[in-house]
Structure 1
């Protein structure tokens, strides 16, 4: 019984770690989403979708930010202010590690974009 419990815990740990890791491979978005992604720029012309992909946000929050192992962000602007979003990105919260976006312009662009998602 002890071996089974240990094995189960190790498997659960492996699954949860793999859910938020990796993700360097770019995936092709459906045609209807390409238009919205191409116009998703904010804060000095920074390409927000590119930043979100590079920082692996979609590995936890989903390709369309609909949520996966992390919470949905496609309506986060209706729950949190831009400053609250920036604070969470900087300091982390729950299972999200702090400091995933260190560049201030990128942080501003992503926070602005997410705060507009209502």
Structure 2
């Protein structure tokens, strides 16, 4: 009976530990709200053709992508996206979001985001280099 209880408690702690631990502090990167035209925002927007509302993109990412790619883009069930912009352009990322992709770490399902969210995510992720 004690072994069964210990096993259940350990299993529960393991599952809860795997689901938690995301860092909700988004202060690591400065948010570009488009309010000011700075040299940094001009540099960050090279591939996307302009500035990206980072806070809106992060919200879309959290609700659609973080469960597989991690809250900090470090990966999990899906690949690490912290430097995805150095591998793919915004258009290529948008195509992957829309149509999905099979790769080394499994399959990216198609249509995880739709409409304007696709372009917002693709532009934001293309800046990750």
Q: Above 0.5 in TM-score?
A: yes
Task: Please state how far the C-alpha of 1:34 moved relative to its aligned partner.
Answer: 3.3
Task: Answer yes or no: is 1:62 the counterpart of 2:70.
Answer: yes
* Bigger Rg, structure 1 or 2: 2
- Shift of the 89–40 alpha-carbon distance from structure 1 to 2, 3 Å rule, reads farther
TM norm structure 2? 0.59
Q: Which runs of 5+ in 2 are unaligned?
A: 1-18, 34-50
Q: Which residue of 2 aligns with 1:98?
A: 110
Task: Answer yes or no: is 1:29 the counterpart of 2:37.
Answer: no
Aligned counterparts of 2:117 and 2:70: Cα–Cα separation in 1: 20
Over 3 Å off, 4+ runs: 40-46
User: What is the CA RMSD across the aligned residues, in angstroms?
Assistant: 2.5
Q: Which residue of 2 aligns with 1:108?
A: 119
Q: Which residue of 2 aligns with 1:72?
A: 80
Q: Which runs of 5+ in 1 are unaligned?
A: 1-22
Aligned counterparts of 1:39 and 1:87: Cα–Cα separation in 2: 25
